[in-house]
Amino acid sequence: NHDFDVMSAARNWRVDAPAPTPPAQVVGELFASDVLTLEELKTRLSKADYRSLRGTVERGERLNPAIAETVALAMKTWAMERGATHYTHWFQPLTGATAEKHDSFLSPNGDGLAMATFSGKELIQAEPDASSFPSGGLRATFEARGYTAWDPSSPAFIMRHANGATLCIPTVFAAWTGEALDNKTPLLRSTEALNRVVTPALHLFGASAGTRVGSSMGVEQEYFLIAEEYFYRRPDLVMTGRTLFGAQPPRGQELEDHYFGAIPDRVLSFMTDAELQLYALGIPVKTRHNEVAPGQFEIAPIYEDSNVAADHQQLIMQVLRNTARKYGLVCLLHEKPFAGVNGSGKHCNWSMATDAGENLLEPGDTPHENLQFLFFCAAVLRAVDEHQDLLRISVASASNDHRLGANEAPPAIISIFLGSELTDILDRIDSGEGGRGTAAGLLGLGSSVLPPIPRHAGDRNRTSPFAFTGNKFEFRAAGSSQSISFPVTVLNTIVADAVQSLTAELKARLEGGMDLDSAVGELVRDTYRQHRRIVFNGDGYSAEWHHEAEHGRGLLNLRTSLDAIPHLTDPKNVDLFGRFGVLSERELAARQEIMYDIYFKTVNIEGETTEYIAQTIILPAAADYLGDLGAVRIASRAVEATAREVCQLTDELYDALQALREQNRTLGGDEMHDKAHHVRDHVLPAMREVRQAADRLEKVVADKHWPLPTYRQMLFVK
Ligand code: ADP
Ligand code: MG
């Protein structure tokens, strides 16, 4: 019989039912209570020190090392008041996860007592051993050390666990050569680049001196929940995050009854618990709902400055994972945990805003505001068209390959959905409609402002990888498990590049004596004409689009990660990232190497896990069942036919397993690049063959002999 208990999977959580949710006022007080905000620091620092720190946080001024000592003391006191016993520099190595190494505030002294230490030096810099983090060759083994440096632009916070708390200090992580070993450093550099370039453009539109520009980001996170009981009975989920076996259930998502349906009590309790923790961390969670697939859900906070949003995104994933366990559930963040049902993505809503809160991608109420809006829209069109490759690379991973271009997921082709209103405006600008031949006419601005562009246009297209949604662009190709840092870095940098070019062109026209309206009008028209191939408002999932994109429009279709990754070090991209000081050629090459490395290791682990499960779990189950059938003494056509079928499928499984075994033992070459191609071209197909035979067996072997929890069970426990 099964050695797992379906009933316990379903019942589990009631054992330690959650505490009741506090009333709304209390929740209000909870918000950011575990975050060391600037307001909090203001009460704890001298006026001069506070002003100095604020200059660093808000205006990017150089950190004054002289204030580190007092800030460290304030941090320590604040954290200990809240029960923290340890502190850690919290950073984002190139694994895509976060890393922490805890040190105690308490250190034993001569009297056997403990006293708290945490100095300014410890705050500003630490030297974790970098040898176990991927460096892509940036760190020679003889110099294993890396250093972490405090990032004052993201506030410190307290992470709580069942019996304690830790002060986490957001930090960047670099090699001693100064080369970035993390995802945060290039993100900060790209934000600076965007500010450097967009501010002069805004000045042409009359912005006041001293204006700063940053990017904003709001992330919708999709995830699955399954019963813990099932998770730990599935070595594939435990080892790889996805099911490597599993026949399609009789019922999947075809009834479309789950999406936006009532949220089951157990799940709602989990969500509420997670949200309360996220509030305390100052994360403005706003939305929760069921997603398309059974067992799939979504959480989304309100947008924030992208650097903070990137940190918060990592925390959201961590809190979801930790909290699920309290409810007897496991949160799956993998892009495709279950074949044949919807995968999980992470929609990255991106825009640019001034420090005064003006959204640069928001159509305004006046012709002047709309000039500016169209200028920045044109820049995004140009950026996405010229750097399709980089956007594709920024979401490339072995796990996202199962989702991108597959059913119910954006295609691997990058295009922009503009919606009918904005497309119509650009078409009218292009055709010069609106009369008079003047720029005002050209822009359709002669008499009145642009037609209102609804934020939630009726024809919202869910199949586009990059959609204008009224006052921001939504990049939908990102995978559910990934860090958003690199996608944001790419967005910031490619748009900075386009804005810089367009600003130069605009300046040239103005210096040639043109007025602003005409100059912007011509610029938008020319940019649209040049890059309109990237605009596609139709069905991105259709076969016709794939054909048209590639053959009609010459857009890139980098189907798998390994098709995309080589382009990272194309001369165009080395030049781009170099010009803006975001990533050097060596840093790019290192990232490329790490991407190959992680791709190879991911598939390699999957190949080995498939082999192990097929040989030691599924084959024995089939054999047991054959034994049962063979023991039947009465001649029965049903028993004989079933035995024949099981026998044949078991042999098929065995043959496929032999083939996989051979591929698992082969490396395909010495270079990481070759190994990665080997696993994509030989191991993945061999795994599919093994799975096919196994999934057919699952439908024939007696339920009591089937050793793995099935899709039918895992997806429907609520
Ligand atoms: P959807 O229609 O995709 O559900 P929502 O209005 O719910 O859109 O927003 C989705 C995400 O986009 C939220 O996180 C929201 O805060 C974010 N968002 C809204 N405006 C902006 C902006 N200007 N910049 C970045 N993100 C934004
Ligand atoms: Mg969305």
Phi, psi of 146 (to 5 degrees): -125, 175
Q: How far does the centroid of ligand 1 lie from the alpha carbon of residue 95, in Å?
A: 27
Q: How far does the centroid of ligand 2 lie from the alpha carbon of residue 386, in Å?
A: 24
Mutate to test the pocket of ligand 1, among 303, 304, 350 (most ligand atoms within 8 A of CB): 303
Cα(662)–Cα(690) distance, integer angstroms: 13
Query: Does residue 518 sit in the same domain as residue 644?
Result: no
Residue 302 Cα: closest atom of ligand 1 = 16
Query: Does residue 565 sit in the same domain as residue 646?
Result: no
State the SS3 of 230-294: HHCCCHHHHHHCCCCCCCCCCCCCCCCCCCCCCCCHHHHHHHHHHHHHHHHCCCCEEEEEECCCC
Residue 349 Cα: closest atom of ligand 1 = 26
Residue 300 Cα: closest atom of ligand 1 = 14
Query: Does residue 80 sit in the same domain as residue 150?
Result: yes
Tokens standing for 71?
A: 């800030």
Tokens standing for 561?
A: 């990660």
Query: Does residue 644 sit in the same domain as residue 552?
Result: no
Domain for residue 6, yes or no? no
Query: Does residue 169 sit in the same domain as residue 219?
Result: no
pLDDT in tens, 330-348: 999 999 999 998 999 999 9
Ligand closest to the CA atom of residue 462? 2
Ligand closest to the CA atom of residue 410? 2
Residue closest by Cα to atom 16 of ligand 1: 302
State the SS3 of 405-433: CCCCCCCCECCEECHHHHHHHHHHHHHCC
Domain for residue 153, yes or no? yes
Residue closest by Cα to atom 17 of ligand 1: 218
Domain boundary residue among 553, 583, 613?
583
CA dihedral in degrees (306, 311, 313, 316; nearest 10)?
-150
Q: How far does the centroid of ligand 1 lie from the alpha carbon of residue 352, in Å?
A: 13
What is the ipTM metric for this complex?
A: 0.96
Domain for residue 9, yes or no? no
pLDDT in tens, 601-660: 999 999 999 999 999 999 999 999 999 999 999 989 999 999 999 999 999 999 999 999
Residue 287 Cα: closest atom of ligand 1 = 7
Q: Give the pocket of ligand 1 (CB within 6 Å).
A: 216-218, 220, 287, 300-303, 349-351, 359, 456, 469, 471-472, 474
Q: Would you list the DSSP string of 630-687?
A: HT--S--HHHHHHHHHHHHHHHHHHHHHHHHHHHHH----SSHHHHHHHIIIIIHHHH
Q: How far does the centroid of ligand 2 lie from the alpha carbon of residue 220, in Å?
A: 7
Residue 219 Cα: closest atom of ligand 1 = 14
396, containing H or E segment: none
Residue 351 Cα: closest atom of ligand 1 = 24
CA dihedral in degrees (393, 394, 400, 406; nearest 10)?
-60
Give mean pLDDT, residues 31-39.
Answer: 94
Q: Which of 16-25, 144-153, 564-573, 706-715 shows the lowest per-residue confidence on average (mean pLDDT)?
A: 16-25
Tokens standing for 517?
A: 């309206």
Query: Does residue 149 sit in the same domain as residue 212?
Result: no
Phi, psi of 417 (to 5 degrees): -95, 125
Burial (Cβ within 10 Å: 0-12, 13-18, ≥19) of residue 101: middle
Domain boundary residue among 550, 583, 616?
583
Cα(378)–Cα(461) distance, integer angstroms: 20
CB atoms within 10 A of CB 116: 14
pLDDT in tens, 166-209: 999 999 988 877 889 899 999 999 999 999 999 999 999 998 88
Q: How far does the centroid of ligand 1 lie from the alpha carbon of residue 202, in Å?
A: 23
Residue 354 DSSP label: E
Q: How far does the centroid of ligand 2 lie from the alpha carbon of residue 478, in Å?
A: 12
pLDDT in tens, 274-313: 999 999 999 999 988 888 888 999 999 999 999 999 999 9
Query: Does residue 447 sit in the same domain as residue 512?
Result: yes
Residue 359 Cα: closest atom of ligand 1 = 23
Domain for residue 286, yes or no? yes
Residue 303 Cα: closest atom of ligand 1 = 16
Query: Does residue 439 sit in the same domain as residue 379?
Result: yes
pLDDT in tens, 41-67: 999 999 999 999 998 888 878 888 888
Domain for residue 187, yes or no? no
Q: How far does the centroid of ligand 1 lie from the alpha carbon of residue 215, in Å?
A: 13
Instruction: Report the CATH number at residue 175.
Output: 3.10.20.70
Ligand closest to the CA atom of residue 288? 1
Query: Does residue 551 sit in the same domain as residue 653?
Result: no
Q: How far does the centroid of ligand 1 lie from the alpha carbon of residue 347, in Å?
A: 9
Of 440, 458, 457, residue with least CA distance to 449 = 440
> What does the mean pLDDT of the chain come to?
89
Domain boundary residue among 561, 583, 605?
583
Residue closest by Cα to atom 2 of ligand 1: 456
Q: How far does the centroid of ligand 1 lie from the alpha carbon of residue 474, in Å?
A: 8
Domain for residue 284, yes or no? yes
Instruction: Report the CATH number at residue 439.
Output: 3.30.590.10
Domain for residue 589, yes or no? no
Cα(478)–Cα(475) distance, integer angstroms: 7
Query: Does residue 45 sit in the same domain as residue 77?
Result: yes
> Given this model, what pLDDT does residue 106 score?
80
Q: How far does the centroid of ligand 2 lie from the alpha carbon of residue 426, in Å?
A: 24
Sorted by sequence, the CB contacts under 8 Å of residue 27 that are 6+ apart come out as 21, 276, 279
Q: Is 95 helix (H, G, I), strand (E, B) or coil?
A: coil
Number of domains observed in the structure of the chain: 3
> Given this model, what pLDDT does residue 704 score?
93
238 alpha carbon, distance to own chain's centre: 21
Residue 401 is part of which domain span?
Answer: 192-583
Residue positions counted in the chain: 718
Query: Does residue 176 sit in the same domain as residue 290?
Result: no
pLDDT in tens, 652-704: 999 999 999 999 999 888 889 999 999 999 999 999 999 999 999 999 999 99
Domain for residue 20, yes or no? no
Give mean pLDDT, residues 321-325.
Answer: 94
Phi, psi of 104 (to 5 degrees): -80, 145
Tokens standing for 618?
A: 């599924």
Cα(217)–Cα(472) distance, integer angstroms: 9
Phi, psi of 479 (to 5 degrees): -90, 155
Mutate to test the pocket of ligand 1, among 459, 472, 484 (most ligand atoms within 8 A of CB): 472
Query: Does residue 140 sit in the same domain as residue 71?
Result: yes
